[in-house]
A and B are shown apart, each in its own frame.
Chain A
Amino acid sequence: MTETTLSPAPSSAETPAAPAKGKSLYALDKLTQKRNASETRFKAYGITAILIGLFFLVVLAVSIISEGTPAFTRTVVEVEFAVSQEQFDDAEKQLFKTRAYENLFISGLKQQLDESGVTVPFDEAAIERLLGKPGNTIRSFFRENPDQIGQPVGFELAASSRVDGYMNGRVTRDNIVDSRFLMKSDLDIADALVEAGIIKTAFNWNFITGADSGVDNPGGAGIGASAVGSFFMMLVVLFLSLPIGVAASIYLEEFAPQNRITDMIEVNISNLAAVPSIVFGILGLAVFIQFMHLPQSAPLVGGLVLTLMTLPTIIISTRASLKAVPPSIRDAALGIGASKMQAIFHHVLPLAMPGILTGTIIGLAQALGETAPLLLIGMVGFVARGYPDGLIAGFTEPNSAMPAQIYTWAARADYAFYEKAWGGIIVLLVFLLSMNILAIILRRRFERRW
């Protein structure tokens, strides 16, 4: 608007606003056509926006699934051969014991190749490039199971990560560079072994149950140990944030007087909900580790940090569920002489419980996927070297968490770890998905409309 006052209005008889009759409704005038065109355009923008969003979702899903599934398979070499008692005694007497077993293995392999009629020349070095050092595994097997000596035993040995890559297309004949890890000529051997049915693809249980491996062994890396770390952290988060969150919400929703302290708490909560997660990591580092000297990299500390982070989410959703319980319920309880506390704990809280649990599960899911603060308190991936021994150790011994483990893999130089990172994401998303589905079921099942 530009002008405040207008010239004195002309008399109403000659104004253009007087109804002019006669324009037919059937005839679309030019302007209306133009307006409709712009309407169509505008609508198209909206559809495009939705499609862009969905397109990204699809791309994300496709890349996760296509890149991540190879992590769940591994390439194994299956060889069956027998070791006689003399061979065993003989090998144990030698200076290089594992070398002796390796020779036994190679002769077994040769035999199996001959049987299937495939011929390919190979030497010990090639076998080591393909399989690592099989002799050790075989030796320890027979030392632990002496009763198996003399009988044919099937060994399933993990192929090296390069061979694994060759099998699932990460390594090709075009991009391979001869190195101590794998030579071009080895691929011929691998092809021959595939033909003979000796190299196979198997489900990689180790990826799900195992711990992080060193930087030079991507094949052996598993997410199991860090999943245990995540689990202990979630325990801490659940058992702290649910009671604290519910208590805080009850106070704010039912008891808090309208004053400046209450206002301050409310403003604080909504601000904390928007504070970057990394700041919570700094808080954890400074307060829990520097100041309170709690153990570094411990799931306990991670859980504390994530509790503080998820509390605002849980408080906000809990308050919404409490608010949804109609005041008539409170009045009814108070009317028969219950105290306010009794009215809330006996009537309001149970009615609000499904909503509270839904909010808590969603808060936990958020916490489960959080990475940045964990890195600051030392829960990086390479810490997850094994399962904790015992319940208390689960909370206090250094461990990692799934997202931090994924980050560590993604930050390693070896391409083979990327596949593990994607695979780790699939595992993480499966957990998140099940939590969200649980939340949806809870909501569907118990939601009550007043």
Chain B
Amino acid sequence: MPLFWLILIVLAVATVGYVLGRSRALASAGGERRKLHSLPSYYGANVAMKAAVPAFLLMIVWLLAQPFYIDNSISGMIPDSAISEGSSRGLVMAEVRRAARGLDNAVAMGEITDDFARNARADFNDITARLKEAGQIVTSEITQPVMRAAQRFRILDATASLIMAIAVLLVAVIGALWGLRETKADFWARNTVEGGVKALLIGAASIAILTTIGIVLSLVFNTIEFFRLYPAIDFFTGLTWSPSFSGRGGSSELGIIPLLWGTFYISIVALAVAVPVGLFAAIYLSEYAGPRVRAVAKPLLEVLAGIPTIVYGLFALLTVGPLLLSVFGDEGIGIMQAGTAVMTAGLVMGIMLIPFVSSLSDDIINAVPQAMRDGSYGLGATKSETVKQVILPAALPGIVGAILLAASRAIGETMIVVLGAGAAARLSLNPFEAMTTVTAKIVSQLTGDADFASPEALVAFALGMTLFVVTLGLNIVALYIVRKYREQYD
């Protein structure tokens, strides 16, 4: 792990810098600490910071940029003729990378010599077989252009890594020297170090923004790629969802409407369960329940929120589904064909959302000032009248916000629908039929063996984009409403 060693060396440089900086500061004050502007350790920290931070920054940027540079220069090596029908440059490049990694591993395991890996010709040396033997999974026969590209890739990669190591170490040493030069008794070391720490804190805080940018970019680029292969109009208005698993493109129909309908239908069922139960539970807990009932019932309900969704998924598939089937299936009413259905997933999702709705509503109801209640009771209203006519109207915006947040949860929920709702995309009104959702299809399109460049896989990003936009819209509206509501009573 050369990268690992590189990191260690930079850290070592920083440590040495720390010790030197500290002693140099003391020396510059003639051993009298009082003459220093800052504590000696700050002088050390200043040197260490200047050694490590720029070096690591350079390393990160380099590591991100290197694959681009290499991909670009390799990509030019591959003639168009080497790209077979139905394939793409991206796919061939992926193969090149796999082959290069396979060569690396084979060398590391001692199956082939480094020299062999550099010079072997795919068509003479039966490289595919040897790589397979070395346990490096290679999907298809490695052709000569790919082999040459892979060899070039290895060389470029190794050179680039070497240059990076040298550059990083150089930056670290220069940084340390610079820090040492600054180290004098009247240097404001503490302020410099604190400035650095503050920059670090800002960096940490901006990770939230970077994450959002990352999400948006990864969705947007792949979605655009998808729309180049599959018309956007057909995607947004298509009434059929039937991806083909055989060939690439062509025969697939990828209409999002049935998925949106399934998502919507299941969410409605879930909210129909969660909102009344959650709301009444919240009202009871905040207005009626004594402290003892509250102390027991509230945490118990919240246990439901702490259970992982995979558990609910299994519960839907193996408990609720068969139970509903025995009532509504052929032996019962006869309107349900299989255990997986809108009702199954919706019901279980509703159970999951009960504590979500109830604890949010509980907070919001408690935010209604006691004076409102007093005013109402003072006029001779009963508790239920107070709740219905004073508290709920006052809390309404907050509760609407809570319900919107719950809806966004329902729309984005994955495991329950993957296991409980079925796999068939269908436009139907019968809640006892299997339907599927946007999230379930993202999972199934991206976990199969489909390759990333095919519309069948890329469609998942378009689905993800739709999901992201819808939930983001709901969240923004909901958070805005809730925030406005809280300000009203603060």
Contacts and interface: CB of A to CB of B under 8 A. Distances in A.
B99 interface: no
A287 B214 contact: yes
Q: Provide the main secondary structure of the chain A interface.
A: helix
Q: Which of A63, A274, A276, A403 has the most CB of B within 10 A?
A: A276
Interface residues of B, number: 95
B311 interface: yes
A339 B194 contact: yes
Contacts of A311: 207-208, 211
B443 A46 contact: no
B472 A410 contact: no
B34 to A, nearest CB: 14
Interface stretch (A104-112, A117-125, A202-210, A366-374): A366-374
Q: Which of A41, A275, A282 has the most CB of B within 10 A?
A: A282
Contact of B467 (A38, A42, A279): A279
B461 interface: yes
A49 to B, nearest CB: 4
Given A60-B307, A283-B215, A276 B467 contact: yes
Contacts, number: 271
B64 A292 contact: yes
Q: Which of A35, A59, A272 has the most CB of B within 10 A?
A: A272
B412 A49 contact: no
Given A48-B280, A251-B202, A372 B414 contact: yes
Interface in A317-369: 339-341, 365, 368-369
A282 B197 contact: no
Contact of A46 (B64, B205, B280, B467): B280
B217 to A, nearest CB: 8
A276 B63 CA distance: 29
Q: How large is the interface on A (under 10, 10 to 19, 20 to 34, 35 or more residues)?
A: 35 or more
A247 B309 contact: no
A42 B387 contact: yes
A244 interface: yes
A8 interface: no
A171 interface: no
Given A279-B215, A372-B415, A49 B464 contact: no
A67 B418 CA distance: 21
A252 B201 CA distance: 9
Contact of B358 (A39, A47, A53, A370): A53
A276 B439 contact: yes
A292 B97 CA distance: 12
A54 B297 contact: yes
A392 B221 CA distance: 33
Given A59-B319, A251-B201, A392-B1, A282 B307 contact: no
Contacts of B277: 49, 52-53
Nearest to B303: A57
Interface stretch (A14-22, A70-78, A175-183, A424-432): A424-432
A43 B442 contact: no
A389 to B, nearest CB: 14
A248 interface: yes
Interface of B: 1, 4, 63-64, 67, 97, 190-191, 194, 197-198, 200-209, 211-212, 214-215, 217-219, 221-222, 276-281, 283-285, 287-289, 297, 300-301, 303-304, 306-311, 313-315, 317-319, 351, 354-355, 358, 382-385, 387-388, 405, 408-409, 411-415, 418-419, 439, 442-443, 446-447, 452, 460-461, 464, 467-468, 471-472, 475-476, 479
